[in-house]
Amino acid sequence: MKRVLSSILIYFLLFGGTGSIICGYYILSIKETDLYSGIIGKSNSYVVETFTGENFFTENLAVKEMDKKIYILFDGKKLPVSEVKSVNSKDINGEFVKKVSRNGTMGIILAAVGGLSVIISIILKDYI
């Protein structure tokens, strides 16, 4: 019975750690355009405000990466995200920084804990 429980513990650590590493890597590999699209969300109409005080009203909005820069495309216009202050009164750049730092922290923690769990399971395999 002891052997069965120890095997279950080792396999739990091994597969749980591997799953944690995969989840951490997935969180770290989310594209910037997907993050901006998630922050902007879906709406019937959008109000895009720039730092220069211009307001644009549109019904269709897309986030694309071109020439290693991220742009917001609407009504034939192309604005870099760095020039956009808010979309629908939501500070997209501030939200982006929060989301990237949260994803980075969670991804690194998950990958580190998963790696540690796999290492512990390999070490315990020889001693149990």
Query: Is pLDDT larger for residue 105 or for residue 41?
Result: 105
Burial environment of residue 87 by CB neighbours within 10 A (0 to 12, 13 to 18, 19 or more): buried
pLDDT digits 0-9 by tens, 16-49: 999 999 999 999 999 999 999 889 888 888 899 9
Global pTM reads 0.79
| Spatial contact of 99 and 27, defined as CB atoms under 8 Å apart | no
* The pLDDT of residue 77: 86
